Amino acid sequence: MKKTISIVVIVLLALLAVWYIFIHSPAKFDTKPYDVKIDSLQHNIDSLAVENIQLEAAIEVLEDDNDYLVDKVVNLNNKVVYLKDDLKDAKDALKYTPTQVDSFFIAKYPNEYLLVSQDTTQLPLEVSKAVVVDIKEGETNKSIVVAQDSIIMTLDEVVKNREEVISLLRDKEAKYILIDKDKSGQIDNYKMQVTGLKTDIKKTEKRLKINRFQKLALGAAIIGLLIVK
């Protein structure tokens, strides 16, 4: 009876050892969920990178536009300087001769001089010269005002463009922050994968040691079974 029990025990132990060595397979660390998360984060990073490229293109367009506007302001300022010089020159008309005064009005109002008129109104020479000065100053001041209004409008456009550039740069910075966050998420998932795989390696090493022991035990069990028989 005892011999039979011993045989049964040895057989059970042998079967258990065979099952553990050749059949039993402990669950391995699953990297797929982490790979999926890493790929998802990479997709977000790529999308944000494309959006930033588009923002950079928009910023470049605005900056080119502002370069043009700044050049326009410089040219308008130069024009105002020249016009102010013309304003000073307007008073030169006070030195006009009667012929020069007549020439000015004939050039200024050619169509009116062609009309036949019975008007014999005559202005004193000094009054006529003062009128010439007033006309020249009025026209020059009008041109100065137009140029200065254009400068103001152009500078407003420059300011608006710069505000838009600042807004786009903030959007770009926010996307870079999100990219960094997603990259950190990828690193965290890589670290978890490494940790899990290291744990698997340790388990495998431990299993190999146990397997060696169990093989010895199985061999001993077989020898024992032979002896018992």
pTM, to two decimals: 0.63
Structure tokens at 92: 């030169």
Mean pLDDT of the chain: 81
Of residues 91 and 172, more confidently modeled = 172
- 199 or 122: which carries more pLDDT confidence? 199
Give the per-residue pLDDT at 216: 61
The pLDDT of residue 101 is above 90: no
Q: Could you give the percent of the chain with pLDDT greater than 70?
A: 75
pLDDT band at 74 (very low <50, low <70, confident <90, very high): very high
Q: What is the pLDDT of residue 183?
A: 93
Q: State how far the Cα of 152 lies from the Cα of 134, in Å rounded to an integer.
A: 26
pLDDT at 20: 55
Q: What is the pLDDT of residue 211?
A: 62
Q: What is the structure's pLDDT at 116?
A: 63
> Residues 29-46: pLDDT tens digits?
678 888 889 899 999 999
Residue 93 near residue 104 (C-beta atoms within 8 A): yes
Phi-psi category of residue 115: left, alpha or beta, with phi > 0 → left and psi -120 to 50 → alpha: beta
Q: Count other Cβ atoms within 10 Å, centred on residue 109.
A: 11
Which structural domains are found in the chain, ordered by start? 2-228 (1.10.287.620)
Q: Are 16 and 221 in contact (CB under 8 A)?
A: no
For residues 101 and 128, the answer to whether their CB atoms sit within 8 Å is yes
* DSSP per-residue letters across 130-188: HHHHHHHHHHHHHHHHHHHHHHHHHHHHHHHHHHHHHHHHHHHHHHHHHHHHHHHHHHH
Cα dist. 162→51, 68, 77, 172 in Å? 20, 13, 21, 15
pLDDT in tens, 121-162: 677 888 888 888 899 889 999 999 999 999 999 999 999 999
* Residue 123 contacts residue 115 (beta carbons within 8 Å): no
Query: How far apart are alpha carbons 144 and 150 in whole angstroms?
Result: 10
Quick one: pLDDT band at residue 104, thresholds 50, 70, 90? Answer: confident
Q: Which of 118, 94, 96, 91 is nearest to 106 (CA)?
A: 96
Q: DSSP label at 19? A: I
CA distance 181 to 186: 9
